A and B are shown apart, each in its own frame.
Chain A
Amino acid sequence: MTLVAATIVSAFLMPLAYMVATAFKDPSQLTAVDAPLYPAAPEVFVYQGKELKVYDVPTPDGTIHAWALLQPHREDAIFIDPANPGAGEITWIGRPRTLAQHWAFSLKVDNFTAAWETIDFPRLFLNTFGIAGLSTVGAVLSGICVAYGFSRFRFPGRNGLFILMLATIILPFQVTLIPSYALYLALGWVGTWWPLIIPHFFANAYNVFLLRQYFLTIPRELDEAAMIDGAGPFRILRSVIVPQAVPAIIAVTLFHFFWAWNEYFLPLIYLQGKPDLQPLAVGLARFNALYSQQPTLIQAAAIMAMLLPVVLFFLAQRAFMRGVVFGGVEK
């Protein structure tokens, strides 16, 4: 069973292996016919000051030797054994033209440095952090406030408002897209980060729902105790609710941060033609369009773009995956 699962998961994650292998290859290896899948370079052997190409040479006893070609002829050739050059010249009968080159494992990091410079990664990273970070701050703060309001206070129309908030989940964002764009255009905000940050300071249904559900499980006796000590609603939120709800707040923070890191459509339309302000997702897609003929460069760029989210995910995966189930299925 474990073996079956391991096979399936290997096939499932095969593209990642492709990505890593390609990113470390020399571009010429992609088009070479006899090249191996792993990053490698054709081996050469320096013999008496000359660079000799190394070939995989089969001998009649069935073994294959990696020998350096010294002198090719039509129907035979003279080789040197790089492992034992002192043994001298070896004459081999066969057509040297049919032989395949011998490839030795070799990693190229040039792709990474080239991609890093071409695409201006440091700037894209800073932009992504800026947009994702600021919008996450807004989403988490406003989410906590609204969730606190819904879970701890009675006011007229509370149920109606809560249903209304949940209903916004099925409202496709396209419906509000064009008027919002027109508004931001009128405000002069198109071409700035504002349209990507400001709306998140007004609470999002997913985050509020998850936080509210969690807040409801915090015993009210704690609020009351704080109230008797003279704490006001804001103080209770800060020193009772928030410390008790740390797991839910972490989950919401991670969700929002990853979402913002990933977001493509809105940065694409609001930061079109502003490469200095664009986040990683938009920059990477632009890069992909420009260099689609150079897979080695593009795969190196893809690795750099996904490294941080993937590492963060592995570090926080337990909180993260629990959050998915809490938010998605749990009442």
Chain B
Amino acid sequence: MATRVKRSVVVGLLFLGSGSLMACREDLTSSLGGDLIPVSAVTVEGRLPFSEFAEDLQVWEGYGTAVQLPTAIVARDYEGLLDAHTLVSWFGYPTSASVRDTLGSTRTDTVLTFVGGKVVARFDTLSSVVDGPTTLALGALETEWDPGSVTWTLAVDSVGDRRPWPEEGAGPVMPLSTAEWDPAAGDSVVFEIDSVGVALWADTATAKRGARLDAVTEGVRLDLRSVSLSLITRPSINPDTLVNLTVSARSRTFVYDPPPDVSEESIIVGGVPARRTVFSMSLPRELDGPPELCAKVGCPLALKPKSLISASLILRTHAPPAAFQPTDSLRLDVRPVLEPSRLPKSPLGFSLVGPLGVVVPPGHFAGEAGLDVVLPLGAYVEQLLADTSEAPTDVPRTLALLSSFEPLSLYFASFYGPGSPYAPELRLILTVGGEVGIR
């Protein structure tokens, strides 16, 4: 009997369980009685000019260096303005090599004779700006330089050590070779180096000085992806044979001139070294316009966090100097500045627009007329509005506009600044609704 009772209880519970599962899905939404919703709400839009929501705009530069970029630049009078030289330093030459001797056995040869060499440069054919075959020159640098701080005028620019180039533009150099690159024929160009040239870099100190790559043809800008040195070597154990030994680049960077001339009123983001634009938020507590908004909800309208459904910083693009015109999309980021007093070295908070930033196509910077770039700041502005004297919070009020990847490129994003008719705006969308009652 006990078994039967248990079975009966189990059956009953199964009934209960299956019934519950069968009808557990709740679907209460009804569109029939929509007109019976006893709550009314109005959505309005307000646009604050820069002076009404922010102050203290500053552009800081010096974040990152060209050596961190994946591509280097070679340019000559590009857009009538830009000159850029790529600098590359080498590791020391190999001191031994495994070579097959005259009997066919592989042996290590430590007596190598370098009879010549080739420097192979590979370019990005899509992003390089070039009309046809281009002549390039390679020269050996004669001055020590620091890849992390080198500029057009300074070979070394670090703390306590500031050494100018003897000749501006990373000069002088000892000419080694010239070559012509035809983009239609391939993405690489080869510089033939004779034994004298190869001998120049045989010493580790001179190898570190490396080479400078220049454009001879005017009006070009080439994006260089890689450079390598290949040594033509005659081994002592098999002098009738020539072998190629590769020497890797120790570092690669570029220097350029002139630095971009940008207005103090502009908002600049990116470039190399990268720039950041910093400003402080000073939101009003209420809106007293525009007339369309006041007509709908009455003014002044108190800005409350729960009413805010969207907040966006709107920037208008400004065409940078043609030589610095973006050729690929940029990613803009906005981060809170955690300790503004320590700028330009203040730590930054987490991104307010997402880890990958807001994508801005290069075409946005092509014309003079500003195009809108929308940076969503809803959650941040909501925190600012919640920060009242009665309930103070420690939400940072200083924001930095920067490139999501820093540095990203020679080119940069440029926007109209506060004094312009195309000045930034803060677009607020608010919904004002009545209370939800119980009756």
A-B interaction? no
A residues near B (Cβ < 8 Å) are none
